[in-house]
Structure 1
């Protein structure tokens, strides 16, 4: 196995959201495949999109940024990441150092986001440490729910278990009246 070194990485692309967004799903930092495609959860073995499709009883959106953006916005889900830049080894969240957070306040202020979900333990940890205090100082008290990672590195979680773990995303959408009938 080839040894990798930490490299400084910039996020490279912006959030997916609009003024009708009700739920914000935050990862830690896009994987190299996602950065290459300039969109979220684009590694072919990442299970994020199959999980979302199962939650909303729809086919998995095509593996294009446009189809996936449309899916998220249609369900009033905003997508972004906790980190704007960091030092990281490949896609290893456990290697993240020197994380600089994204400023979440502008999109929360300009939308109808009432709930934040983080995907993976590192995203939840960094959100609590770097983002929550800034949001609180800005007057936001948006609840955050940590979810397991959909990364292929989280092999212990089956697709069925991930769908159950992510059910609160769909429930938050239904509660906010954003799920299409």
Structure 2
């Protein structure tokens, strides 16, 4: 017998990391169960986000505390948030996201220097362009750093994600 899955309606549990001098915005779709439990972005140790960022900017993000990660992002002029403010979701499955309330991205970036938006994975990209098609010209789809994206090893992720350093 197949295990019954339960979808839960959840509001985004933490604030965006953004500053007036932010130049790049990285958007995920919605925090995973483990990230929500750890109360921080990419809190699953199997997600390669912090490792890839560390390779790009020659910084050991893995060993940093959450506060130190926030400070490092500020120094790098990188903002971090998710496209979805609230939704119904089954565990951490992007494909199960429904009943979406979008994050107010225009207000979020209004008083910043953000010119480039990078989406961590196809779901974030599709949702962003559905809600805010006016950002298409300044948005780049990057392969997901999620452990579910096993086809992309750390070297391949680095090759695509290093574009962040150009801005």
TM-score by length of 1: 0.86
Q: Deviations over 1:128-180 (max 9, x none)?
A: 101x24xx4xxx786000111101111111001001110111112xxxxxxxx
Quote how far apart the aligned CAs of 1:61 are.
4.0
How many pairs were matched up? 166
Gaps of 5+ in 2: none
Aligned match of 1:51: 52
Aligned match of 1:159: 154
Gaps of 5+ in 1: 173-181
For 2:77 and 2:43, the matched residues in 1 are separated by 20
What's the Cα RMSD here?
1.7
Q: CA contact under 8 A between 1:85 and 1:99: conserved in structure 2? A: yes
For 1:50 and 1:144, the matched residues in 2 are separated by 22
1:13 is aligned to 2:14: yes
SS in 1 for 2:88: strand
1:103 is aligned to 2:98: no
TM-score by length of 2: 0.93
Q: Deviations over 1:3-50 (max 9, x none)?
A: 422111111111001111000000000011111222111101110000
For 2:64 and 2:32, the matched residues in 1 are separated by 15
Aligned match of 2:143: 148
Match runs of 1:80-159 below 5 Å = 80-130=81-131, 132-133=132-133, 136=134, 143-159=138-154
Aligned match of 1:26: 27
